[in-house]
Amino acid sequence: MDVTVRPMRDDDVDAAQQVQEVAFRELDQRLGEPVTPVSPESVERQRRRHRHFIAHDPAGSWVATSGDEIVGSALALRRDSMWGLSLLVVHPDHQSRGIGRQLLDASLSYADGVGTAIILSSSDARAMRRYARAGFALFPQMMATGAVDRTTLPAADRRVRVGSVADAELADSVDRQVRGAARGPDHGILNDFTTMYVAEDAADRGYAYIRNGHVVSVAATDEELATRLLWQCLADEGQGSVEQHTISHVTGEQQWAIDVAVAARLSLKPWGPVFWRGRTPPRCYLPDGAYL
């Protein structure tokens, strides 16, 4: 059946979220990875993610349809002069028929004229092939995971405090310096689902987001502050129920993050790569899978 790629609408969100869930479950199984658990909270978080993109990045939000069925989707954002791919999925029953390529091409039309672009890739060979062919450079990434050895945690740091959406301006100034683009509206939704930490030391600034042991993002103008923030994330126990911490999206540029991970006795393993166009990975930046 013919496939059409068109802008995503609000009434596509539930079906698009289901395709995302099925595609990543099949990918985890295919790669022999533990399947990411699904909960009512994670489903709602993904639906809100889709709606956030439709509201703020309509030109980066696409679906592929076959008849009445949604068979794939892509979400991309554009902040200042940076473009980022948040999601690219095709339902397993429809993969390897060129749909992913069409969706990526549509979302890349939203990158016209930007200076830099980032894609956090899965290990799916088709995804990596398309990103490389679209002119992106590949940087291998590691993930660190496990139970933090709490005896390794440094003493509480007075330069780090809990943040809130009121710190968005500070965080935006960090991001402009570190990655050349502010997050703008993404701080609102990130604060709804995570704990934010902010660090300030003389002229240096940084911030981090953490959710249930998962380090969502870290950005700082200075490596020592980035390190402090990452330690604070590992000290964070959520509602007291966190057994595992995860630091994703670490490249060779972020040795400071590798140092923290191994000091805390987390295990390192290879992970899908990050692709950049227009620059190399910023040193004091761990990007977020959803909002980059």
Residues in contact with ligand COA by CB under 6 A are 23-24, 27, 88-90, 95-101, 121-122, 124-127, 129-130, 133
| Nearest approach, Cβ of residue 62 and ligand COA (Å) | 12
Please identify, using beta-carbon distances, which residue of 16 and 90 lies nearer to ligand COA: 90
Nearer to ligand COA, 100 or 163 (CB): 100
Q: How far is the CB of 231 from ligand COA (least distance, A)?
A: 29
For residues 275 and 261, give the distance between their C-alpha atoms in angstroms, rounded to a whole number. Answer: 23
Q: How far is the CB of 154 from ligand COA (least distance, A)?
A: 34
Toward ligand COA, which CB reaches closer, 26 or 224? Answer: 26
At closest approach, how far in Å is the CB of 103 from ligand COA?
7
Residue 267: CB minimum distance to ligand COA, A: 23
Nearer to ligand COA by Cβ, of 101 and 176: the residue is: 101
Nearest residue to ligand COA, scored by beta-carbon proximity = 100
Q: Choose between 24 and 207: whose C-beta lies nearer to ligand COA.
A: 24
